Amino acid sequence: MPAGNGRADSAGRFEDLDLPEENFYRFLRYGHVLSSLLREFLEESFLHQVCPHRLTRSQFCFLKLISANADLQMGELARSLGVSAAASSKNVDKLERLGLVNRGSSAEDRRATLITASAEGERLVHDYELLKQARLEPVIGALGREKTDQLCDLLEEVCLGLLARDTVPQTTCLRCAGYYRAGCSVEKLQGECALRPRRRDGEHQVDEMEA
């Protein structure tokens, strides 16, 4: 039975909604399963296997952003991740104590503090990506190119449909976890990608990023 076009009453409750088809609940079921599996594997199991430190998801997100960009300023880091300066400083302090990032002064402005990933921090992000590829690529490869393309197209369509109804204004986007692609359709709706890699001196800007 198709879903109805119910309207919200004065209390915000929706009335006159028909029961959705079974596919609606099937989509929700497997959507939640996929989300929880990715979170469990990528943020917990994989990270714990490659990282000798107990990093939180937020701290690792900081490390990935710092690793992808050369010489980020503290204020720029906080704005990109949408957190306060205090929260940004606290996370960077933890990463610095663990030897994963370094602080320095800008040659142009001595008042500006620059943050760069250390060799160990770069290695951690690299090892995380290698483990992720080794574990997930066989599963994706088993689908075959045609099914994978269809799945990605459908996922993109669903994501854009949901984001088009998002009434909360965004200035930066972190939704792809750093798998940036030039011309990203999500970025057009959500604001500039905070994890888009910035060109380093002597390097060309890449269209895709794995961080």
Q: Residue 133 falls within a domain, yes or no?
A: yes
As for how many domains the chain has, the answer is 1
User: Are 205 and 199 a contacting pair, CB within 8 Å?
Assistant: yes
Q: Residue 165 falls within a domain, yes or no?
A: no
pLDDT of residue 101: 94
pLDDT of residue 64: 87
Q: Residue 211 falls within a domain, yes or no?
A: no
Q: Residue 14 falls within a domain, yes or no?
A: no
Backbone φ and ψ of 171, nearest 5°:
-110, -30
pLDDT of residue 207: 38
Q: How far is CA 8 from the centre of its chain?
A: 33
User: Are 62 and 82 a contacting pair, CB within 8 Å?
Assistant: no
Cα distances from 43 to residues 50, 61, 71, 132, in angstroms, run 11, 10, 25, 10
C-alpha–C-alpha distance, residues 77 and 71, integer Å? 10
pLDDT of residue 37: 86
- Say which CATH number the domain at 75 has: 1.10.10.10
pLDDT of residue 120: 94
Range of the domain at 126: 22-143
pLDDT of residue 209: 39
Q: Is 95 helix (H, G, I), strand (E, B) or coil?
A: helix
Per-residue pLDDT of the chain (211 residues; tens, 9 = 90+): 444 445 555 555 556 667 778 888 899 999 999 888 888 877 778 888 888 888 887 788 889 888 887 777 887 788 777 778 888 889 899 999 999 999 887 767 677 778 899 999 999 999 998 998 898 899 999 999 999 999 999 998 998 888 888 766 566 666 676 676 777 777 777 767 766 665 444 444 433 333 3
Q: Residue 11 falls within a domain, yes or no?
A: no
